[in-house]
Amino acid sequence: MKTKYITPAKAIHPGEILLDELEAREISEKEFAIKSGIQPNQLNEIIKGKRGITTEYADLIGKGLDMEPTIWQNLQTLYELDQTKISQTRK
């Protein structure tokens, strides 16, 4: 049986999810930058979707939020796959 993949209307950058998580925990970007060891400008770029989550960032975010880093790495991978699907349907 062949699997049918659904192309999303929009790819959600993991930075948006990170911002939601910080807001839910009532942690400011500045506080999280200090806690996680990510430079504030780099954290802001991640949150705004201008910078991807590398394995290093995934590790720092995971430790800072007491979560598995693979969650953040997987979110980045899913985002990139969704972007690819979207761009292929626009050709």
pLDDT tens for each residue of 30-77: 999 999 999 999 999 999 999 999 999 999 999 999 999 999 999 999
The b/e string for 34-63 (b: 16+ C-beta within 10 A; e otherwise) is eebebeeeebbebbeeebbbeeebbbbbbe
Q: Is the pLDDT of residue 2 over 80?
A: no
Q: Is the pLDDT of residue 16 over 80?
A: yes
Task: Supply the pLDDT for residue 90.
Answer: 75
Task: Supply the pLDDT for residue 57.
Answer: 98
Question: How far from 59 is each of 23, 54, 69, CA to CA, in Å?
Answer: 20, 9, 5
Instruction: Look at the block and give the residue holding tokens 């950058």.
Output: 13
Q: Is the pLDDT of residue 1 over 70?
A: no
CA–CA separation, 5 vs 7, rounded Å?
6
- Would you state the structure tokens that stand for residue 88, as one six-digit string? 């292929």
- Would you state the structure tokens that stand for residue 85, as one six-digit string? 């699907």
| Entry pTM | 0.89
